[in-house]
Amino acid sequence: MTTADAVRRRLGLGRLLPLGGAADGAWLAEQAADAVLRHAAAQVPGVAPGRLRLALADPDTAGLPSVPPPPSALPPGPLRIEADFAGVAWEPLPVTASLLRAALFTAAADLLDLRVTEVDLRVTDVLDAAPETPQATPPPGVRVAAPKDPAGWATSGAPGVAHLTASLGAAVHLAPDHVRVEVATARGHRPLAVVRAVREAVTAALADGRPVSVLVTAVEP
Instruction: Assign 3-state DSSP to the chain and report helix, strand, coil percentages, each to 5.
Output: 30, 30, 40
Between 34 and 9, the more confident residue is 34
Instruction: Report the DSSP pairing between strands 212-219 and 179-185.
Output: parallel
Say which CATH topology domain 15-29+137-219 has: GMP Synthetase; Chain A, domain 3 (3.30.300)
Between 140 and 12, the more confident residue is 12
Rounded Cα gap, residues 170 and 125, in angstroms: 43
Helical segments of 84-214, H only? 93-110, 150-156, 191-206
Between 221 and 107, the more confident residue is 107
The string of pLDDT tens digits covering residues 46-83 is: 999 999 999 999 988 888 888 999 988 999 999 999 99
The string of pLDDT tens digits covering residues 148-205 is: 999 999 999 999 999 999 988 899 999 999 999 999 999 999 999 999 999 999 999 9
> SS3 for 160?
coil
The predicted pLDDT at position 10 comes to 56
The predicted pLDDT at position 139 comes to 62
Q: Are 116 and 81 in contact (CB under 8 A)?
A: yes
The predicted pLDDT at position 62 comes to 83
The predicted pLDDT at position 12 comes to 76
pLDDT classification of 136: cutoffs 50, 70, 90: low
The predicted pLDDT at position 1 comes to 46
Chain-centroid distance, C-alpha 177: 25
For the chain, give the percent of residues with pLDDT over 90: 76
Chain-centroid distance, C-alpha 211: 21
CATH 3.30.70.1350, the chain: domain bounds: 31-127
The predicted pLDDT at position 166 comes to 93
Rounded Cα gap, residues 113 and 90, in angstroms: 34
Measured over the CA atoms of residue 73, residue 77, residue 78 and residue 80, the dihedral's sign is negative
Between 35 and 139, the more confident residue is 35
Q: Quote the DSSP letter at residue 118.
A: E
The predicted pLDDT at position 221 comes to 75
CATH 3.30.300, the chain: domain bounds: 15-29+137-219
Among residues 28, 109, 123, 135, the alpha carbon closest in space to that of 76 is found at: 28
Between 216 and 1, the more confident residue is 216
Q: Which residues of 15-46 are buried (b: 16+ CB within 10 A; e: fewer)?
A: bbbbbbeeebbbbbbbbbbbbbbbbbbbebeb
pLDDT for residue 207 is more than 90: yes
Provide mean pLDDT across the span 22-29.
93
Rounded Cα gap, residues 209 and 181, in angstroms: 16
Average pLDDT, the chain: 90
Give residues with Cβ within 8 angstroms of 15, minimum separation 6.
29, 30, 54, 55, 72, 74
Rounded Cα gap, residues 18 and 22, in angstroms: 8
Instruction: Report the DSSP pairing between strands 179-185 and 172-174.
Output: antiparallel
Say which CATH topology domain 31-127 has: Alpha-Beta Plaits (3.30.70)
